Amino acid sequence: MTLTVRDMLDFESLYESELIAGVKGLQKEVTGIMVMEAPDIESWGNLGQVCLTSFFALKNLSSTETEDFFIKANTIGIAAFIVKLDRLVQLIPEHFIEECNRNQIPLIKIQKETKYETIILNVMETLINKNKVLLDHYNVISNQFTNMALREPRLKDILSFLEDLIPNPVSFLKNSSIVYKSTNLELGDFRVIESTMLSKKRYTNFEYQRQVVIHSHLPTKQYSQLLVDVPSLGTDGYRLIIHELNQKTTEEDFMAIENTVSFLQMELLKMYALQQQNLSHRNEIINDLLYRRYQTEEELLEILNFLHFGKKDMFHIVIFDQSVENNSKKEKWEDSESIVKNLSNYVTIYWKKFVSLVKKDRIIFIICDSDSDRVFNEKITAAIHSFTSLTYYSHFSFNTGISNKSNVFDLPLAYKQANNILKILKQTNEKHKIVSYKDLGVIQLFLETKNIDDLTKFVPDKILEIQKNNPELNKTLRVFLDHNQNFKTTAEELFIHPKTAKYRIERLIKLANINFENPEELLQINIGLRLLEFINKTL
């Protein structure tokens, strides 16, 4: 159905024409025709256009300018030049012929008696008839797809329908390498030899590429494929492949493919909407479990059954917090679907029963397991390290909080434990930390308080007094105790002179009557200093 330059030479108006250059471009498609009046071809030239000319507009161009003109014509996709010699230009310059051959643009010479109007009428009449046939064919195809939509077809039905229309085998790929559906599964296994993007046509809305491949079950011959990406929501990528085993894809075939891609896009949107609805319902169920939003044991059993958990199962809650700095835009939680999927792949290595939930900058996993806290921590750490070893996530910053082992009734407490860990890590500006609740040690005793002001009663009065009047002394004391009462390392961390550090400690001894030989007193001071830091960063 495509009009080519070779077809055009069969027009009655071109019977006496002569092809003098560009024989390799005879298969170029013709989409229009016009009279060339100026050399600025980039301003008026179009893909598939035939140019009628006497070459008078190019007469005064230098050889460099002429070469540039034909390069631009080739880049634009000019289909052919039809030249008529007259009293203004009586001879086609030899370098014009050379440039047409080099750029594979057919150069056709016509007789002086041949009228431009006759050629233009032949071309436009053919194109108009061709477009009418294509439009009629498009309407027929569109109506067929509309009728099929009313029957709520499966993806396989849509692909089978397209295969009948083309006819060529087709495949539908999910995530580039996995054959999701196909009318011939063997064709999904192939090796690409070369790939080329196709120029966009007037009647195509999607991007196409053609590639040469070798199929594993047909290793002795190369075959052609037409590929088009199917737009969709979510992180999954979909691609339709036309295996051109029987014939090259025609214009009529493209009409069918365009309708198919649009139809598949709508089906994928419906599937995505349903998935999001189911996910929203599932997230609500998980929240009911975490916040104990059930009134009876029957309601609890319904929740557990929906999540495929049992009443006697034991759990750990793991929360990943991305609200730390230095994450690039492409690695934000907007990509949470992909992150959950990849994390889940590594969690699955160790545990089969778990659910996940995304909340703003956090991803929550409720993992059913029979491991001790120590063994669980080792496994989840290994899973996290495997995840961060992926190139895409290698610089991804997040903290991880791990609860104690819990039964189903204490999940709200386990959830609070994991959140408290992340709260402390955020307040202390920690990054890339994996911390379990038991790692907090004595701090666990103070995290259950409902009022942060209650923590001050665990801070020795003399520490509170020093904090009020000389807070830098408490900071020095904290660093001094952390470094086993070493003046030199204390001074290095605080960027002060060792004598200054020693002076401050002596002053503390005088003000607070601290006995650094008493381990019980030092324990109370250590705990007090840490609680004080926690209180100050929380308020």
The domains located in the chain, with CATH, are 5-124 (3.40.1390.20), 155-270 (3.30.450.40), 297-437 (3.30.70), 452-538 (1.10.10.2840)
As to burial, measured by CB atoms within 10 angstroms (0-12 exposed, 13-18 middle, 19+ buried), residue 318 is buried
Indicate whether this model's pTM tops 0.75: no
pLDDT of residue 324: 59
pLDDT of residue 77: 93
Mean per-residue pLDDT pooled into runs of 10, the chain (539 residues): 88 91 94 90 92 86 91 94 79 90 94 90 88 77 81 84 88 78 78 89 86 87 92 84 88 87 88 86 94 92 94 95 60 67 92 92 93 93 91 83 94 92 78 85 64 68 85 88 89 90 88 85 82 64
Q: Angle of helix 498-512 relative to helix 487-494, nearest 10 degrees?
A: 110
Residue with tokens 């790939």: 195
Handedness of CA 35, 41, 46, 47 (dihedral sign): positive
pLDDT of residue 453: 57
pLDDT of residue 255: 85
Contacts 24+ apart (CB under 8 A), 424-427: 424/534, 425/321, 425/399, 425/401, 426/321, 426/323, 426/324, 426/399, 427/534, 427/537, 427/538
CA distance 135 to 420: 65
Is the separation of the CB atoms in 256 and 166 below 8 Å? Answer: yes
Please state whether beta strands 170-174 and 314-321 pair in parallel, antiparallel, or not at all (unpaired): unpaired
Contacts 24+ apart (CB under 8 A), 192-195: 193/222
- What's phi and psi for 141, nearest 5 deg? -60, -45
Please state whether beta strands 49-53 and 32-35 pair in parallel, antiparallel, or not at all (unpaired): parallel
Residue with tokens 């939680």: 333
Query: Distance of alpha carbon 450 from its chain centroid, rounded?
Result: 42
pLDDT of residue 87: 60
Strand partners, 399: 321
